[in-house]
Amino acid sequence: MKTIRYIIPSVFSLLALLSAYYAVLESINHHLSDACYGVIAAMIFDSLDGRSARFLNSCTKFGASLDSLVDMMAYGVAPAMMTYCWCLYKFGKIGYLLAFIMCACAGLRLARFNIMIDVQDKRFFRGLSSTMAGGFVVSFILTCVQYKWYNTLVFNSSALIMFISSLLMVSNIKFYSFKVMPGNKKVSTTILILIILGLLALVPIYKGLVVFAFLATYIGINLLLQPIYNRI
């Protein structure tokens, strides 16, 4: 029973890795909607590994290292591959470089997070989290595929969004982490859950656009609040 307690979080991590691997394969096969859903599935499993480890009191350095490797695949390699197959191949060698920048920045972001995990302010991420960055890129592609937006402006916007997301990951800009809720914890948590449920209710109507709009709003608000964050 004790061994199972430590295995369960790793199983969720491996399921996230499998989902990311599936996303890469579907990107190569140009099944971009399925590839996007693969990354979304990876995000769900990734959220469960840490929570299950804390719930079972089975947090280990091995689990943390495995989680970072999975994050690199799910939010670095998979979105980069997806964007390349979606539009970056049209840019030739520049497309190769842009895809690599996404991978490199995700790796640098995760490495910095690992060495600062015990000293950084729990309220904020230093730089955009790899999960948010990868989700931002993938949700834009999913929106374009679902609404059949295929033109030069869309392709250029996709490349720009990926490039900006990559730079934000390795920046020193603060982003609220939601790990420490302001005010009454129960009230704040309830509000957050209601917001998430509201977004999920809108997904069947507006599809990937809901996720993209939410992440764009999250990034935009945090950029605007930097003067306040820096005084805290």
Decide yes or no: CATH 1.10.357.10 for domain 2-120+128-170.
no
Q: Give residue 182's pLDDT.
A: 62
What pLDDT, in 10s, does the model give residues 153-162? 999 999 999 9
pTM here is 0.88
- Longest Cα–Cα distance of the chain, Å, equals 56
Closest to 20 measured CA to CA, from 76, 85, 84, 99: 76
Q: Which residues contact 50 (CB under 8 A, 6 or more apart)?
A: 9, 67
Q: Where are the domains of the chain?
A: 2-120+128-170
User: What percent of the chain shows pLDDT beyond 90?
Assistant: 54
Q: How far apart are CA 131 and CA 212, in angstroms?
A: 13
Confidence grade of residue 171 (pLDDT, cut at 50, 70, 90): very high
